[in-house]
Amino acid sequence: MDFKQIIKQRATTYNFQPMEVSKDKIERIIEAGTWAPNRRLTEPWRFWVLTGDGRLPLSKVMEEIAKDIMSEAAEEERNKRMETYKNLPLKAPVNIIVACELTEDDKVIPVEEIAAVNACVENMLLTATDEGLGAFWGTGNYVYHPKMKEILGLKDKDAVIGVVYIGYAEPSNRIRKRTHFSNFTKWIDEDHSYIK
């Protein structure tokens, strides 16, 4: 598939078919992630691949996180959110938790490490598309909750970047749209004392 076509075809997948994904496809997706740019070649990405019953610990901790996050909410709303979080890892046959393990080197800027792992995830999403798979980059309160670091054995300074849910996508008629880049772009071809 043409690279531009892969970029435009990649879309967040919420519904997956109950089909296994081969290990070699998963490995190609992760390997592509590790070719992301990373300053000083620190390679800060870390991966946990959860399949089958291996998804259950994530399901359980996400349910606990939802309970914690929704502690002030009405019982019905809290229970609904807990059920949603509990079921999310089970909807996709493959869950890849991606984290950033920050280096101890004081010369390395933490935000650059996190940016590198974000680029890593984008490589993974594009490769999943190229492999004929759908993917969903799950982020939000549950990902950044301390319990996620705890189950992964990460240090306080480290960061969970997201859970990449992967599988064969259910057919969808959803049409993706993007605002033309010209709306966000300024061309500067003369020397100015400032750029705005």
Q: Is 140 annotated as a binding residue?
A: no
Q: Is 139 annotated as a binding residue?
A: yes
With 0-12 / 13-18 / 19 or more C-beta atoms within 10 angstroms meaning exposed / middle / buried, residue 163 is buried
Q: Is 36 annotated as a binding residue?
A: no
Q: Is 138 annotated as a binding residue?
A: yes
Supply the Cα-derived Rg of the chain in whole angstroms: 19
Q: Is 12 annotated as a binding residue?
A: yes
* DSSP three-state, residue 162: strand
68-46-15 Cα angle (round to 5): 60
Q: Output the 3-class SS for 12-59.
A: ECCCECCCCCCHHHHHHHHHHHCCCCCHHHCCCEEEEEEEHHHHHHHH
Q: Is 52 annotated as a binding residue?
A: no
Can you say which residues are annotated as belonging to the binding site for FMN? 10-12, 137-139
Can you say which residues are annotated as belonging to the binding site? 10-12, 137-139
